[in-house]
A and B are shown apart, each in its own frame.
Chain A
């Protein structure tokens, strides 16, 4: 079994349609996709309430149509605190989704994230938090792993699934190493050799999840980061599916 913990769907190109992604993933042996939508008609960094709801409706529809293959992550924004909490209730407390997605509306260290973090703890739902160290400069309000650490320290009971190991790099691995409530997925760039091996050594395989960030990235190439890594078979299994199953209570 392989679970891809980081996939995006939408309806703004033929490439992000859920059936296209399920078909492509299955050719690489990936059975379960954990999907969020950052916008029905395009990635929205600061979505309105309507855009947030329509994005999440894409995911709810995908879960209904492909219950064997799809697990849902609810996209919300600290820019709309009340609306976001209501959306989390709709999609997770009263719905089938299993996690919360935060992108670049605010840094993970921003106090505006705190109500969402408290809600996540209440529902035992991990937060999938985008993070990156870009030497060319992060986007406005784009979190670094150091920002994620601030959130993890404020809320030790919160499970944070930090996106983009290969964007975090060696510095990012060093940042998060002391915080066992931060996990990281293997997305975030080219299949650079030896990065995953370093991460396994630095934070342990039990804190790493396979994630592709498809459709912008390819399932096969991203999977090769894990299946081609010089790590133990136990570690590989943890990364490919066991950790996602455990952390998200799938």
Chain B
């Protein structure tokens, strides 16, 4: 199994057990997850997320099954240089964007330049809609969710870049199903999708092509992600697509690096 959205690092507002690479990997492995795409939690709040990326890449050197995802901020003047470093010096496999925490419009000129540059580097872009429930945030740091329609708009206009919608909720996935299913360059990870029999219902609407397994660990309990799969009583093909094969396509894991 491949987890397309996990993290290491420190969160300001509460301790997160299992947030070192070693602990995270042990917990993922204990649930049958062999590989994970991992981004640095510090990249959300650092003024310069590249410092968090470099810390992450150094920490993950000894953990080849944890693949680094770099946080970039297109509102900073050096994002292109940081992207180059992530590609050339480190084994970064994807980019993660936080338009809400970093306060920019995903469809601004600068952000679109980054989205296009990602494709030139053969990097998928994870656009994270949220990190935690807005109702449960610290009162000093209430950050609204990213509007999923901004991702759809960008993906429509930049069709060669691969987009992964991070932390989409059930209601968003249902209300935007027509638009999302029409976009061959869009996937969505299912860590935040929850409803009665949600995965089985999601497959009825979407099929399996665009669905990616993710835990959102260490913020979320890994077991919940596993039970969500089990509840759906997936066929072998469905299971392989959602937990492995789609991730290989979206993140181009067949390329040598």
Contacts and interface: CB of A to CB of B under 8 A. Distances in A.
**A and B: partners?**
yes
Chain B interface SS verdict (over half): loop
Contacts of B197: 24, 27, 218
Interface string A189-227: 111111000000000000000000011111111111101
A242 B115 CA distance: 53
A38 interface: no
Interface string A111-133: 00000000000000000000010
Given A215-B196, A217-B194, A224-B226, A169 B220 contact: no
A100 to B, nearest CB: 25
Contact of B224 (A27, A191, A230): A191
A219 B224 CA distance: 10
Nearest to B226: A224
Contacts of A192: 132, 136, 219-221
Contact of A167 (B18, B136, B226, B228): B136
B172 interface: no
B218 interface: yes
B10 interface: no
B135 A135 contact: yes
Nearest to A190: B133
B254 interface: no
B114 to A, nearest CB: 29
B224 A189 contact: no
Contact of B227 (A132, A193, A194, A223): A223
Question: Which bucket holds chain A's interface residue count?
Answer: 35 or more
Contacts of A189: 133, 135-136
A190 B137 CA distance: 13
A157 to B, nearest CB: 32
A135 B138 contact: yes
Nearest to A169: B136
A224 B221 contact: yes
Sort chain B's interface into a size bin: 35 or more
A21 B196 contact: yes
B136 A221 contact: no
Contacts of B219: 192-193
A133 B221 CA distance: 21
B224 A136 contact: no
B195 to A, nearest CB: 6
Nearest to B229: A220
A154 interface: no
A218 B198 contact: yes
Contacts of B227: 28, 220-221, 223-224, 227
12 contacts: A15-B195, A20-B196, A24-B231, A136-B134, A166-B136, A167-B135, A191-B224, A193-B221, A194-B15, A217-B194, A224-B224, A228-B224
Interface of B: 14-18, 132-139, 142, 192, 194-198, 217-228, 230-231, 233
Given A27-B231, A136-B135, A218-B196, 15 more contacts: A24-B231, A135-B134, A135-B137, A167-B136, A189-B133, A190-B194, A191-B221, A191-B223, A192-B136, A193-B219, A193-B220, A218-B197, A218-B228, A224-B225, A224-B227
